[in-house]
Amino acid sequence: MKQLPIIATLLTLAISLPAQPAAAQDAALQQGEFQGVPYLSGGVSLEEREQLFFTAADYNLRLLFAEKGGSYLSDTEVVVTTRDGRKVLELIAQGPFVFARLPAGEYRVAATNAGKQQVRDLQLSTKGQRQAAFYW
């Protein structure tokens, strides 16, 4: 019965530890800028998604990357160009979501995951947010 206090102490410690694995605790949103265009990428964990959607109103472009079955994808290459082909955003998404703030205009978004590319043409306005989803 001498083990009972040790077991109780171990259980108390286990309960007080964070529920997330160490890798998830270190995960953070990818925040950056490409040629003056601010962006956020991430959304792997619930905490990251909450952070993203808390700041969503600051961005006029929202991209989602997922499998056709609904599972989120990361490591998606994203290239956004203007109508004349000038690159205005390029990044490797660190999660299923990318939020960006671009000037109003017409853009082409190319997203590549696992070697397969999809393209969307989008019109962004000065107000509101345009969303595009890419499913593989």
Per residue in 36-94, pLDDT (tens digit) is 999 999 999 899 899 888 888 899 999 999 999 989 999 999 999 999 999 999 999 99
Residue whose C-alpha is closest to residue 78's, from 28, 31, 113 = 113
- Residue 58 is classified by DSSP as G
Please tell me the distance from the alpha carbon of residue 22 to that of residue 125, in angstroms, as a whole number.
Answer: 41
Q: Which of 86, 79, 87, 122 is nearest to 104 (CA)?
A: 122
Q: What is the CATH number of the domain that holds 51?
A: 2.60.40.10
Would you say residue 11 lies in a domain? Answer: no
Task: Examine residue 19 and state whether it is found in any structural domain, yes or no.
Answer: no
- Whether residue 83 is contained in a domain is answered as yes
pTM reported for the whole predicted model:
0.78
- The answer to whether residue 79 is domain-embedded is yes
pLDDT of residue 66: 97
pLDDT, one tens digit per residue, over 120-136 is 999 999 889 999 999 99
Say what the pLDDT of residue 7 is.
54
Is 23 part of any domain? no
Into how many domains does the chain fold?
1
Q: Is residue 3 in a domain?
A: no
**Residue at 125 is within a domain:** yes
Q: What is the pLDDT of residue 89?
A: 98
- Full residue range of the structural domain in which residue 120 is found: 28-135
Domain-embedded: residue 94: yes
pLDDT in tens, 9-43: 544 544 444 444 433 334 578 999 999 999 999 99
